[in-house]
Structure 1
Amino acid sequence: MSDFDADPSSDDSDSYTIREELPAPETFAALREAAGMPPRSLEGIERGLPNSLYGVIAVHDPTDEVVGMGRVVGDGGTVYQISDMAVRPEHQGRGLGTRMMASLERYLDEAAPPRAYVNLVADVDGFYEEFGYRTVRPESKGMYRRME
């Protein structure tokens, strides 16, 4: 993790804080499930999270519950990927995704060298475009392979 400071301001409510840290593995799995994302094995989560370049969580201050997360993975020089952006449905619509994404973008602006490639897989239309991301089609196509 870096010494970069996450933005403590709130877009919608002062009852949430964006923290520069990664969720616990069990919280990571629960947030993915709550957001309707494909599950990951606990073994994979425990191996992968410590290899993150940067991460943020959204915390509901009254309950101290982690209700959102996002992270940057990659090689730290040429390729960066925004990954695992998730907010619990009951906490959506309060600007948490925007605040977390803004923190990830500030990290990238500070850490990524010129000509680095930043990518992501978008599940929400219109959200990431606000941060300057565009589809790769028709020049390229995204692909994946899930290990069984």
Structure 2
Amino acid sequence: MTYELREELPTAERFLELREAAGMTTRDREGVERGLPNSVYGATVVAAGTDETVGMARIVGDGGSVYHVCDMVVHPDHQGRGLGSRLMDAVMAYVDEHAPPNSYVNLMADVDGFYEQWGFEATRPASKGMFYRVDGE
């Protein structure tokens, strides 16, 4: 199977489907529909011939001094084919072209040994990553 990398965001529906398929934390559809258009950058991987989006990654932030890489996922049926690396290459090409010197680029990783190849480092002991999640009703 061949794949095409596109510099675009997935639909809200496909965004939710990909996260679910990969076992990622669920997101509220309303929040996704509101948030996706506010992305700084988005990339998808599409299976050639079917036009099915099988992977995605995006950057959120202020577009100047802070960039957060998030929602990086490849559908489990298409993993192990270098698609995650293609997505990260696209994300980092965007950062290299658009981020001013001394910009802060961060991410929350749930895999070891993947993001380091693009220069990402653990923040500890200088700082620690934290999060707060708004409870659903």
TM-score, length-scaled by structure 2: 0.97
Aligned residue for 2:111?
124
What pairs up with 1:1-148 in 2 under 5 angstroms?
Answer: 15-148=2-135
Distance between the aligned counterparts of 2:115 and 2:60, measured in 1?
17
CA distance in 2, matches of 1:63, 1:47: 27
User: For 1:120 and 1:88, how far apart are their aligned partners in 2?
Assistant: 20
Please give the alpha-carbon distance, in whole angstroms, between the structure 1 residues aligned to 2:91 and 2:120. 13
1:62 to partner: Cα distance = 2.8
Q: Structure 1: which 5+ residue stretches go unaligned?
A: 1-12
- In 2, the alpha carbon distance for the partners of 1:134 and 1:59 equals 29
Poorly superposed stretches of 4+, deviation over 6 Å: none
1-side partners of 2:63 and 2:39: how far apart? 10
Per the normalisation by structure 1, the TM-score is 0.89
CA–CA distance in structure 2, aligned partners of residues 97 and 139 of structure 1: 28
SS of 2:96's partner is helix
Give the distance between the partners of 1:42 and 1:140, measured in 2 at CA.
32
Residue-pair matches, total: 135
CA RMSD between the two structures? 0.8
Query: How high is the sequence identity, in percent, across the aligned residues?
Result: 60
Structure 2, unmatched stretches of 5+, are: none
> How far off is 1:124 after superposition?
1.1
